[in-house]
Amino acid sequence: MKVSDDHVVSIHYTLTNEKGETLDSSIGAEPLIFIQGKKHIIPGLEDALTGKETGEKLKVTIPPEKAYGPRNDEMVQAIPRAEFGENEQIDPGMQFQADTDNGPVILTVVEVKDEEVVVDGNHPLSGITLCFDVEVVEVREATEEELSEGHVHGPGCQH
């Protein structure tokens, strides 16, 4: 069976950047399981998997535009320190969720100053070309329940 929309796909993957540094991997864990065509994974990887079959392996390089988008310098902002409360411990690398007109955004603390906190609303992988080494573990038709709920249940599932 080939990977196509409304099929449940299980993959093992290793994600690296262009320097070959590993950013994420499912090796040694449960495979990543998702419904193809539901935008559970980045568009470039979904496109590359279309038409593949169980057991196939592929290496694919995905530009930022087909992954998490280009970096947007306007997403880096300084917020008054007082917005975080008086006794709140804030350190670089911490993340907070902010509600915006476009929905929730995860903000990562970049720098903490006396009077302000610099945060970055870009996805941590934005602006990065991603390199995937993928093995298709299984492809099957999604059940009516999975399609109606829009996701698969169980370990490794994306929803």
Q: What is the pLDDT of residues 93-151, one digit of tens each?
A: 999 888 888 788 899 999 999 899 999 999 999 999 999 999 999 999 999 999 998 88
Can you give the residue ranges of every domain in the chain?
7-68+126-144, 73-120
pTM: 0.81
In our burial notation (b when 16+ CB lie closer than 10 A, e otherwise), range 9-41 reads bbbbbbbbeeeeeeeeebeeeebbbbbbebebb
pLDDT for the residue numbered 104:
87
Q: Which of 104, 132, 143, 149 is nearest to 32 (CA)?
A: 132
Overall CATH class of domain 7-68+126-144: alpha beta
Q: Distance between CA 12 and CA 6 in Å, rounded?
A: 19
Six-digit token string for 145:
């329940």
Does 73-120 carry CATH code 3.30.56.10? no
